Structure 1
Amino acid sequence: MRALVLFACLSVGCLAQTPQQCRSPPLLTGSLSVSTQSEKLMTFAKYSYDALGKRIRLTEFGSYNNKTFHLDVLLLYREGVMYKINYRNHTCCKKPLNVDFHPLAIPQNASLLGQVVLGSSSGPGQGVLVNTWVGEMQLKKGTAKYMSTVTEFGCVPVSTLFHTDRHGWVVTSFFNNVMGLVDPQRLIPPPFCEGAQLEEEDGEDPVTFFSLF
């Protein structure tokens, strides 16, 4: 009997491995909120994320510099273009997207800050096991610090704190995540965008989690 108990304990010890850096599912649908330390930005968005095709769709509502805004954008990184879509009057602005696609992932040089249970560990289904990672990332315009929390199982994003000299701390929280694309059509430009001509950039748009890179 003692040998059986010892074997069970050793088995559990072998299964309890140290968390490893991971990459989020390539196809995700959900919602997120973004706020900045300067309080210039507060926004909520629905997103569709396709790491395989390097496409992201964001439909945002929020305030930026004390002005409310609604932004519906389709980011096509392979084509290097961004569509600003307005379904109310069926117009579409096509602009250059001069940034690289960065998949949702924990970088290999990130350090594990800790592993905790969100909610409760008292009973099944009452909590979620998550890992929090910290590190620095080299960007085109300097270095950024980050702290990212993802689920232990599935590497689904939970929250990210991101700091740059330009924006200060930016906090992103993910919720209602679903693995896969609930509506794949959202990642295809609507028909009224077909004739849109490529325009030059006309200033800075409200910052989003995905535009920080």
Structure 2
Amino acid sequence: MRALVLLVCLSAGCLAQRPKKCTSPPLLTGELSVSTASEKLMAYARYSYDALEERVHITDFGSYNNKSFHHDLLLLYKERVMYLINKRNRTCCKRPLNADFHPLMVPEGASLQAQVVLGSSSGPRQGLLVNTWTGEMRLKEGTAKYMSTVTEFGCIPVSTLLHTDSRGWMAISFFNNVIGLVDPQGLNPPPFCKGAQLEEENPATFFSLF
């Protein structure tokens, strides 16, 4: 009987451990949506993420200021270049990428806001245990406030709220995430991009893509 009580106490202690800051898997494939509080931007995207080589491939469509858009973007942060790809016409625009790579992770300065269950905790597989973190981070565009939610197990991104003075609130939701790269070749420039010349004007940043 004493052994059973001790086991229950130890189990409760493990479950009560405070969540720790974490880093998402270095290779991810999934989908996301982006929207702003002003409703000027609404977008849906498929993404491939490689934190080891600092590469991101995004294909998106949506609307900005009531104008529709579609992008096929390859961001190579180590090379500081970005490719705008048009597979239909087999053309590429190669531009500078004046943005730092930010890995998917809970920043060091983040504060734990809450640990909750998305869905239901009434039965197995009815809910998802997540941690929500808040804080501020410095970007080249200035200081940004954020609220980021990740899964307790695996540190898979769920959602991020980001606020900057210039753009206000931006909401990013992640879903259908898969650990690993479904299409590894998608993180390399297509063969028809080989001769693309770097366009020095209008350097691109991550926020200017929307």
Alignment deviations for residues 19-42 of structure 1 (CA, whole Å, 9 cap, x no partner): 011111100000000001121110
User: CA contact under 8 A between 1:41 and 1:206: conserved in structure 2?
Assistant: no
The residue aligned with 1:7 is 6
Give the whole-Å Cα distance in 2 for the aligned partners of 1:26 and 1:69.
29
Name the counterpart of 1:78: 78
Q: Deviations over 1:67-96 (max 9, x none)?
A: 000000000001110000001111000000
Tell me the TM-score normalised to structure 2 length.
Answer: 0.95
Give 1:206 deviation, angstroms: 8.6
Query: Given residue 8 of structure 2, which amino acid in structure 1 is its aligned partner?
Result: C
Q: Could you say which residue in structure 1 is the equivalent of 2:87?
A: 87
Aligned to 2:64: 64
Is 1:44–1:61's contact at 8 Å kept on the other side of the alignment?
Answer: yes
5+ residue gaps, structure 2? none
Task: Find the counterpart in structure 1 of residue 193 from structure 2.
Answer: 193
Q: Structure 2: how far apart are the matches of 1:60 and 1:159?
A: 17
What is the aligned partner in structure 2 of residue 148 from structure 1?
148
CA contact (8 A) 2:98 2:204 kept: no
> What residue identity is the alignment partner of 2:66?
N
What is the distance in 2 between the residues matched to 1:79 and 1:205?
14
Q: Distance in 1 between matches of 2:141 and 2:49?
A: 25
CA RMSD between the two structures: 1.7
Q: CA-to-partner distance for each residue in 1:95-149, whole Å, 9 max, x for gaps?
A: 0011111101101111100000111111111111000000111222321110000
The 5 Å alignment of 1:106-117 reads 106-117=106-117
Unpaired runs of 5+ in structure 1?
Answer: none
Q: Does the residue aligned with 1:53 lie in a helix, a strand or coil?
A: coil
Matched, 1:47 2:47: yes
Q: What is the letter of the counterpart of residue 82 of structure 1?
A: M
Segments of 4+ moved more than 6 angstroms: 203-206
Who is 1:178 aligned against?
178
Q: Is the 8 A contact 2:132 2:149 kept in 1?
A: yes
Cα distance in 2 for residues equivalent to 1:204 and 1:55: 15
